[in-house]
Structure 1
């Protein structure tokens, strides 16, 4: 997937986060916003664990002295471009300890990328440093690869070799690619069940997986692992508290990646990730948290959460947060078949209207100044549509875009946390997509723990208005525990929202195949996640034709 409108980080094909550009970013304290944070908060957020002058001269731990397996958190790859892909791992021989078991020492790690799973034909290799300042994470932007290629990769530290991962590059710019198969997932509360969905997704034949947010949850996890109900291995007390510090967030990422099914799906497919709220704190909006805390203090927490997220995801060096700020929205391409505009609808949004929750819309929620994306991201998105030459314009993002009435009445309640609470901003995007002639608009959504299929209407209050695109929500991996095929509100939702074509409350993922003639969506579900081993099935399938927006069942 080729980026558009942003510079490539200036590094060699085996770059890791110890180059000049990353050192400068790490020392930069996001002056625009950081100057509003108190000195005490600054010390808490930024002086612990951040590289300072000379910090990259930290003592080296010879890899030969690592006595326990360090690749406990697996491997991952992400954001494939036509000539490169980002590969990731994190060394943690003791993953449930604050320092991962490696203290404050750096470790040299070797890596290799091959054409075959036996690594007989290695096409790229190099070394990178696992630095304590970055939680001993390692990321390598492997360049000089062939467009549309499939590769295998692995890491080594001393006598230890990581599990091998599979990945691929995007087709070349201008390539008339005929098909792409993607999957979308979201909302994987560890304490709500087993990652059976990920086990099945690891076996699917997909080119790329989009994770649409709530990769982890900030809530305490008890010694039994919540709904997982461990009886033989109790989790340590470090997880039985809400995450607020950098150490807390690092440990929570380690807990999640200790799951073998999550490690398996990362090893099987490249990911494109974006966050929602729970990676930091429930329903936060910009600098405002759920409980109305001092914004200066919340930005300290946000800085810790953003930093840990970057350390633990396959994101390039230029996505490194600067204090409480991080540029996560980005544009990727798949030849001429698809343009992906990956959004961030948390960092820049106005605070929710009417105290959040469900509310009848009114002057506060409909204020034209309110925004989910911020002005800069909104302009970037609409300008990107205007410049797009792709057949499909795909918008992976977090919260429900289409109108979703919770009552069958003229004064129906809407969710103030979703686009319904920012209707003026949604209206600008709908108008922008129409004016730009954004062909075959497809929105991918997470957040709501159910599967939906919507027709995106020019006017959601007029069922006869033009259909401009399609929205697919991917339900949850575990969040909400075991779901049901027809939630209690199924009948109300279907009657109140005539543009809603599908509603299912089970856990799963959505698989989408983009082609030159149409796009097909399959809603893949499992009957339970509180017990392991549930089978997967297809709940429903829909097709939308290229050049003729609107869903029809298959």
Structure 2
């Protein structure tokens, strides 16, 4: 049969494979499809583990980078299975979901009724096509005694600026879960080179298309990232807790404020497109479903009696950066009493969680540095205004709450900086008063900023000028946290290169915090 170019051969095969049935909106009309190309090219993922289950995700996209992603504008049935063994000899749950065109044929299934604290395996089936199996571990039972947890922290994975060797490495770590602090994608247009602190470098690969504004733009960008098999391996190995930072929408955005001063009502259209695409590609629960430009991303999870994990959103409710979002500077706006980082509702939610927590360790898993790091060379003080240091009143309010309520064993996990840092938190680090209140570990980027180096000149200066800062490194990689009731250990794992394949992974530092003492020591 000869077909005109305007007729999609792929779409015709889909219809013929469905027995000539046109897939409609009613469940009875859905029929198993036949795909001309493999539909699970974007992989699978699990997320938000709880004691009784987790979310499993996939998206049907036989032609991920094309408009329409190689799918008809119709709902499609997708079967799923969860087993207690990797070979699926014992399937403990199975069912069928609907991949809807309104959500780019993404599927989110919230699995419940599983046993706590054990490994499960999951997969999807559409027509005669099947995914590989992914692994996800349920959280321990609420309040149960947990002797140890081991989990990873990662983020900032600019596709253009480096390969995902770190994802392939972390897939072999045998982790309980992964926390992704954000910058899963970068929104900028394709560039042949990248110019940063180390000069101009040739990007090892390049974004497709221009800067992301529309829903189709963001969908195509996620598809390009998720086609990477190293990233897919990382998702297959463990369930992730995901949040966002700025590049999922626009560099340094907060609230309805675009750094390029686009009117808020226009910028919110971009936010809405970005929020939908983020949900479509992340293993998130229904509670995070976008409502216009907004998403409910701050949430809490527990790992038995060992960890209370508070996942924060430091973008959506923040007031605009002071001092015109300058670098290594300060101004009166830094001390504005009306400024917010979390927003009033999220801040009170966090305080309630901290007050009632009985876990050994209280975790603030978030995006921007809490340390008030002096970044200005010379005797004057200057901050990165896109960190908590640019918002001194909310920052002091948080640390005062921890100190006054005697909320010990608080660990802050941060990203965004494209460098590794470890430091001790004081209300005012220029005038430290007594013992540190909490501890912060900042995880470097997976690929953003290219290969990097062991330590930049500014990093050496930061260590000299900020006594509370105990470690700095400027290579790419990720962090592994080994936690027991007695000790928190953070292992900084770095790659010698991400500009080409074959990067070597090493442990750059192991740092520890003892229960009851926020000081950082060598492990």
Common topology (TM > 0.5): yes
Structure 2 stretches lacking a partner, 5+ long: 1-23, 195-200
User: Counterpart in 2 of 1:27?
Assistant: none
Aligned-pair CA distance for 1:243: 0.2
CA deviations on 1:7-60 (whole Å, 9 max, x unpaired) are xxxxxxxxxxxxxxxxxxxxxxxxxxxxxxxxxxxxxxxxxxxxxxxx944996
The reply to whether residue 490 of structure 1 matches residue 456 of structure 2 is no
User: Counterpart in 2 of 1:344?
Assistant: 313
Aligned-pair CA distance for 1:63: 3.1
Give the one of 220, 235, 241 matched to 1:251.
Answer: 220
Give the one of 165, 177, 180 matched to 2:149.
Answer: 180
Taking the TM superposition and a 5 Å limit, the aligned residue runs for 1:101-140 are 101-140=70-109
Structure 1 stretches lacking a partner, 5+ long: 1-54
Task: Give secondary structure in 1 for the equivalent of 2:462.
Answer: helix
The reply to whether residue 221 of structure 1 matches residue 181 of structure 2 is no
User: Counterpart in 2 of 1:160?
Assistant: 129
Give the TM-score normalised by the residue count of structure 1: 0.87
Taking the TM superposition and a 5 Å limit, the aligned residue runs for 1:23-34 are none
Give the one of 346, 368, 372 matched to 1:377.
Answer: 346
Q: Which moved more, 1:498-507 or 1:215-224?
A: 215-224
Task: Give secondary structure in 1 for the equivalent of 2:45.
Answer: strand
Give the one of 470, 489, 496 matched to 1:501.
Answer: 470
User: Counterpart in 1 of 2:247?
Assistant: 278
Q: 1:122 to 1:224 in 2, by over 3 A?
A: farther
- d(CA) in 2 for partners of 1:92 and 1:341? 33
Taking the TM superposition and a 5 Å limit, the aligned residue runs for 1:509-524 are 509-524=478-493
- d(CA) in 1 for partners of 2:257 and 2:393? 21
CA deviations on 1:441-497 (whole Å, 9 max, x unpaired) are 000000000000011123311245321111001100000001100112122101111
* CA contact 1:181–1:208 (8 Å) conserved in 2: yes
User: Counterpart in 2 of 1:28?
Assistant: none
- d(CA) in 2 for partners of 1:265 and 1:98? 27
User: Counterpart in 1 of 2:231?
Assistant: 262
The reply to whether residue 412 of structure 1 matches residue 375 of structure 2 is no
User: Counterpart in 2 of 1:452?
Assistant: 421
Give the TM-score normalised by the residue count of structure 2: 0.92
Give the one of 293, 311, 323 matched to 2:292.
Answer: 323
User: Counterpart in 2 of 1:21?
Assistant: none
* CA contact 2:493–2:506 (8 Å) conserved in 1: yes
| CA-atom RMSD in angstroms | 1.8
* CA contact 2:48–2:55 (8 Å) conserved in 1: yes
Q: 1:261 to 1:100 in 2, by over 3 A?
A: same
CA deviations on 1:502-540 (whole Å, 9 max, x unpaired) are 000000011111101101110000011011121100000
The reply to whether residue 547 of structure 1 matches residue 482 of structure 2 is no
Task: Give secondary structure in 2 for the equivalent of 1:548.
Answer: coil
- d(CA) in 1 for partners of 2:343 and 2:155? 23
Aligned-pair CA distance for 1:221: 2.3
User: Counterpart in 2 of 1:169?
Assistant: 138
CA deviations on 1:198-220 (whole Å, 9 max, x unpaired) are 11001112111000010000011
- d(CA) in 1 for partners of 2:475 and 2:414? 16
Aligned length: 494
Give the one of 371, 396, 406 matched to 1:437.
Answer: 406
